[in-house]
Amino acid sequence: MIRVVVDDLAAVVADAVVRPTNGNLEAITPALRRLELAAGPRFRDLCRVQHELAVGAAVVTPGGDLPAELVVHAVIMARGDKIGLNDVMPRHLRTAGEVATSVTIPVGATVSDARRQLVLRTFASTGGDASRTAKLLGVDADEVKRDMLALVNAEHVDEEGNGKGPTAVRSGATVKKSAVKKR
């Protein structure tokens, strides 16, 4: 059972508490800093990451000296005022040592999903160079920029490059949000 409590997280007795953080798992408010201090020095050591995490990532650690057994650190903040491409592109694609020579598209994937995957992986392999990506894919650089902008804005783009409304992007998959019917 999930119970929502609005209180000082350092005093909440629960199986787990959710702690909003930035990409380095640092406290983003004074209240969250107090939680970190209450959890003890071992907890702070567990909150060190080798690389900055992307927005939407989550890490689970023991609760340290907190009454909660576990702490779920949810990354909700990007570096700047806007969530950029580097914030949504998976780190393994941004920092790949070798350029992928193929992309696997699962059976049943739409052409739109295949295009999105191909553009994203090629863009990552070029280090974010839209012109080079376009040249490799045989498309116009404006199409690549439009596709990447649509990804950053969580907008679905079909095969013709037309925006089709909001989507939720999670771990490389895109899920179309359903329309709300009025009664």
> Which of 23, 57, 75 is where one domain is finished?
75
Domain residue limits at 137? 85-176
Residue 179: what pLDDT?
Answer: 44
Residue 88: what pLDDT?
Answer: 59
Tally the domains of the chain: 2
Q: Within a domain: residue 67?
A: yes
Tell me the pLDDT tens digit for each residue of 87-140: 555 555 555 555 556 777 778 888 888 888 888 888 877 777 888 888 888 889
Residue 65: what pLDDT?
Answer: 93
Q: Within a domain: residue 66?
A: yes
How distant, in Å, are the alpha carbons of 14, 73, 88 from that of 172? 32, 20, 9
Residues making up the chain, counted from first to last: 183
Q: Are residues 92 and 172 in the same domain?
A: yes
Q: Are residues 127 and 60 in the same domain?
A: no
Q: Which token pair is 107?
A: 């059976």
In 63-153, beta strands by DSSP E: 70-75
What helix, strand, coil percent values describe the chain, rounded to 5? 35, 20, 50
Q: Are residues 38 and 63 in the same domain?
A: yes
Residue 151: what pLDDT?
Answer: 77
Q: Within a domain: residue 91?
A: yes
How far apart, in whole angstroms, are the C-alpha atoms of residue 136 and residue 5?
51
How far apart, in whole angstroms, are the C-alpha atoms of residue 93 and residue 108?
23
Report the Cα–Cα distance between both ends of the chain, in Å, rounded: 31
Q: Are residues 112 and 45 in the same domain?
A: no
Residue 95: what pLDDT?
Answer: 55
pLDDT along the chain (183 residues), means of 10: 80 89 88 90 86 83 92 81 59 54 78 85 79 86 86 57 42 39 44
How far apart, in whole angstroms, are the C-alpha atoms of residue 39 and residue 62?
9
